[in-house]
């Protein structure tokens, strides 16, 4: 099982994702065929886990995808594949998180600083804060034109644009998609809510993150670590 560690929090959030799907019209297999598939599946899964532990994330992704071809209904493989994308996205960002911060400027100054940020950063997480709706809109539009994913956060008098770019964007969004799919397929399981909560906490969207984490805790109230973490924010939200 993989563990994600949001930079902005101290508490480690577990990553366990279980989903159940079924396929109509699937061919019936003999017991021997099922056993052979199980052995092949277990071998591929172990190889994928070893690649992940060695931080060979691209290889691990390929192997987990092979495992899903063998067992597309397997919840833990979806979790591990999503977690691998998540970790690879953070690896592309490098050790600094956020990768770049832009403060309130004129429209021209903010746009120029954003251009400089993406030229130097290439892949990572950019944070832009402003009290001007006009400046926020201009930077958001520019970021989207450059292929970035933008997550606005509106405070009382401040707008924060949380911007993912490059390979970090690609892999983190892929991880989020997998966790969302798990919720669609098995909404009673806690782990995908916790994982998406970790994702949003990582990019500074705390209200949405806490909503997902609370949903996770409702489904798994025995998670004492998550319960203690949520208690810290009880007075804020």
Q: Which two tokens stand for residue 86?
A: 């998540």
Q: End-to-end alpha-carbon separation of the chain, Å?
A: 30
Residue 124 lies in a domain: yes
| 147 is a domain residue | yes
Average pLDDT, the chain: 83
2-4 and 149-154: which strand pairing? unpaired
Is the pLDDT higher at 141 or at 105? 141
CB 80 within 8 A of CB 1: yes
Question: Band of the pLDDT at 2, cuts 50, 70, 90?
Answer: low
- Categorize the per-residue pLDDT at 37 as very low, low, confident or very high, splitting at 50, 70 and 90: low
For residue 237, what pLDDT band results from cuts at 50, 70 and 90? low
In a domain, 138, yes or no: yes
Q: In the prediction, which pLDDT does 24 show? A: 25
**Dist. CA 145–CA 163, nearest whole Å:** 12
In angstroms, the CA 25 to CA 23 distance is 6
Q: How many domains are there within the chain?
A: 1
The domain of 131 spans 100-158
For residue 36, pLDDT beyond 80: no
Residue 131 resides in a domain = yes
**pLDDT tens, residue by residue, 182-214:** 788 778 888 889 989 999 999 999 999 999 999
Compare 2 and 188 and report the one with higher pLDDT: 188
What is the share, in percent, of the chain residues with pLDDT greater than 90?
64
Q: Would you say residue 224 lies in a domain?
A: no
CA distance 144 to 55: 31
Looking at the predicted structure, is the pLDDT value of residue 54 above 90?
A: yes
Rounded Cα gap, residues 19 and 15, in angstroms: 13
**Within a domain: residue 106?**
yes
**Residue at 125 is within a domain:** yes
Give yes or no for residue 57 having a pLDDT over 60: yes
């Amino acid at each position: 099982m993989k563990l994600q560690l949001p930079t902005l929090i101290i508490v480690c959030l577990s990553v366990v994702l279980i989903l159940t799907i079924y396929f109509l019209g699937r061919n019936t297999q003999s017991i021997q065929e099922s056993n052979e598939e199980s052995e092949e599946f277990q071998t591929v899964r172990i190889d994928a886990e070893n690649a992940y532990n060695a931080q060979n994330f691209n290889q691990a992704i390929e192997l987990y995808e092979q495992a899903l071809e063998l067992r597309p209904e397997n919840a833990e493989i979806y979790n591990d594949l999503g977690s691998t994308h998540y970790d690879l996205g953070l690896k592309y960002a490098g050790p600094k998180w956020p990768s770049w911060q832009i403060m309130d400027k004129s429209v021209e100054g903010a746009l120029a600083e954003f251009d400089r940020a993406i030229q130097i950063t290439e892949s990572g997480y950019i944070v832009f804060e402003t009290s001007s709706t006009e400046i926020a809109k201009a930077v958001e539009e520019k970021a989207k034109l450059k292929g970035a994913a933008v997550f606005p956060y509106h405070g009382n008098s401040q707008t924060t644009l949380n911007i993912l770019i490059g390979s970090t964007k690609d892999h983190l969004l892929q991880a989020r998609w997998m966790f969302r799919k798990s919720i669609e397929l098995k909404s009673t399981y806690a782990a995908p809510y916790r994982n998406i909560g970790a994702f949003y906490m990582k990019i500074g969207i705390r209200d949405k993150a806490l909503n997902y984490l609370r949903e996770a805790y409702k489904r798994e109230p025995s998670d004492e670590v998550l319960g203690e973490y949520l208690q810290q924010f009880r007075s804020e939200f």
